[in-house]
């Protein structure tokens, strides 16, 4: 699933870059947790045989793209970091529907 893999990688790269911005310690820790989960999901994408024709798959792709774009935007406007955190949690949830790893975001 190169498209899912590429979008996951793009999102991770943008989030890593955002970690270097002037954000609060709490935001940095929350992003760090989200990044760890996305890395675990990336590992799973690499080993699973996924169907790219499902609605869940397409929703996960769109959510990853939204998260990456929000992270890129937040580098120029730190007030948007909360949106990045929420969009990343949404992407993780949508990926979970595709991967079925048992991951839930509670905070």
CATH number at residue 21: 1.20.930
pLDDT per position as a tens digit, 4-24: 999 999 999 999 999 999 899
pLDDT per position as a tens digit, 41-94: 999 999 998 888 889 999 999 999 999 999 999 988 989 999 999 999 999 999
Report whether 11 contacts 64 (CB < 8 A): yes
Range of the domain at 7: 2-99
pLDDT at 51: 82
Report whether 50 contacts 98 (CB < 8 A): yes
Domain tally for the chain? 1
Specify if 104 maps to a domain.
no
Specify if 85 maps to a domain.
yes
d(CA 26, CA 28): 5
Burial grade of 68 (CB within 10 A; 0-12, 13-18, 19 or more) = buried
């Amino acid at each position: 699933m190169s498209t899912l893999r590429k979008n996951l990688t793009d999102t991770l790269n943008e989030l890593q870059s955002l970690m270097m911005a002037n954000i609060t310690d709490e935001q940095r820790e929350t992003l760090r947790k989200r990044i760890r989960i996305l890395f675990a999901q990336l590992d799973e994408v690499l080993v699973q045989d996924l169907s790219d024709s499902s609605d869940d798959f397409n929703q996960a792709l769109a959510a990853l793209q939204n998260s990456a774009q929000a992270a890129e935007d937040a580098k120029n406007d730190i007030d948007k970091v909360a949106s990045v955190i929420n969009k990343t949690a949404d992407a993780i949830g949508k990926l979970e529907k595709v991967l079925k790893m048992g991951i839930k975001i509670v905070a």
